[in-house]
């Protein structure tokens, strides 16, 4: 039904909706409508908002591109809210060294595979180790302050989320959070810890988040604009 729109669009009809709403998020257009809303009227409604939609879409695409993680030697690599410069070269064996503002990768000469495939692999292993070293103790610290008791805390790689909290009380954080500043990391950790008490995104949940992280609205917004960090 949306094939002839000048942008990709996801339609979410819902029995609980009475009005139309459109949102541009992570460079994607989502339109929400009541069930069985007449398609022609929905299209006309979107047409009236086309300038607004395209403007936001372009701005978000530009932002995604600006934050894209790149692997050419000399690229900027965001780490803990700073910008490191990534360098790599072929060497006797594979290793990663972080010195001041430089992240120096050595890739083993013995492999015949394309270095641009091997650089992200080596970086993932390194980021996972960094996340275990610095995020796990931070979760323990914040959990103690907030009097929350996660059953287990894990570090994994997700492509669409920064963290998650299971109904069994297991918190999992994305190692890609190591790209983010400590303030953003704290927000995600606090968010997941609050889910131990409120397993939803109700107003009670956000009130609890606000208690421990008063600036959560701005941090959440900032994190949203860094969606490209999830994409490698
Ligand atoms: Zn949540």
Spell out the domain ranges in the chain: 9-66, 119-230
- As a whole number of angstroms, the distance between CA 160 and CA 166 comes to 16
State which H helix or E strand residue 116 sits in.
helix 115-146
The Å distance, Cα 101 to ligand 1 centre, comes to: 33
In the predicted structure, residue 12 carries a pLDDT above the cut 80: yes
The Å distance, Cα 201 to ligand 1 centre, comes to: 6
The Å distance, Cα 67 to ligand 1 centre, comes to: 23
To 10 degrees, the CA torsion angle through 128, 130, 134, 135? Answer: -20
pLDDT for residue 57: 93
In this structure, are residues 116 and 133 in contact, taking their beta carbons and an 8 Å threshold? no
CA-based angle 170:172:178, to the nearest 5? 150
The Å distance, Cα 34 to ligand 1 centre, comes to: 25
- As a whole number of angstroms, the distance between CA 161 and CA 42 comes to 30
The Å distance, Cα 203 to ligand 1 centre, comes to: 12
* Average pLDDT score over residue span 27-33: 91
Architecture of domain 119-230: 2-Layer Sandwich (3.30)
pLDDT for residue 1: 64
What value does the mean pLDDT of the chain take?
94
Q: Residue 136: pLDDT band by 50, 70, 90 thresholds? A: very high
* Average pLDDT score over residue span 195-220: 97
* Average pLDDT score over residue span 55-75: 91
Measured in whole angstroms, the distance separating CA 82 from the mean position of its chain's CA atoms is 17
In the predicted structure, residue 85 carries a pLDDT above the cut 70: yes
- As a whole number of angstroms, the distance between CA 81 and CA 177 comes to 10
């Amino acid at each position: 039904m949306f094939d002839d729109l000048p942008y990709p669009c996801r339609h979410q009809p819902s029995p609980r909706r009475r009005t139309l709403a459109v949102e541009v998020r992570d460079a994607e257009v989502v339109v929400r409508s009541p069930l069985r809303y007449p398609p022609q009227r929905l299209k006309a409604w979107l047409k009236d908002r086309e300038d607004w939609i395209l403007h936001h879409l372009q701005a978000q695409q530009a932002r995604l591109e600006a934050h894209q993680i790149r692997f050419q030697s000399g690229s900027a690599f965001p780490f803990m809210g700073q910008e490191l410069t990534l360098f790599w070269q072929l060497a006797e064996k594979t290793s990663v060294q972080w010195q001041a503002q430089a992240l120096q990768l050595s890739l083993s000469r013995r492999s015949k595979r394309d270095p641009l495939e091997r650089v992200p692999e080596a970086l993932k292993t390194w980021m996972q180790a960094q996340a275990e070293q610095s995020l796990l103790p931070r979760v323990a610290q914040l959990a103690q302050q907030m009097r929350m008791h996660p059953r287990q805390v894990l570090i994994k790689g997700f492509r669409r989320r920064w963290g998650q909290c299971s109904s069994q009380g297991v918190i999992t954080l994305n190692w890609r959070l190591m790209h983010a500043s400590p303030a953003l990391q704290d927000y995600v950790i606090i968010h997941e810890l609050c889910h131990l008490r409120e397993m939803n995104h109700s107003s009670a949940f956000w009130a609890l988040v606000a208690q421990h992280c008063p600036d959560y609205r701005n941090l959440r917004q900032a994190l949203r604009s860094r969606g490209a960090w999830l994409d490698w």
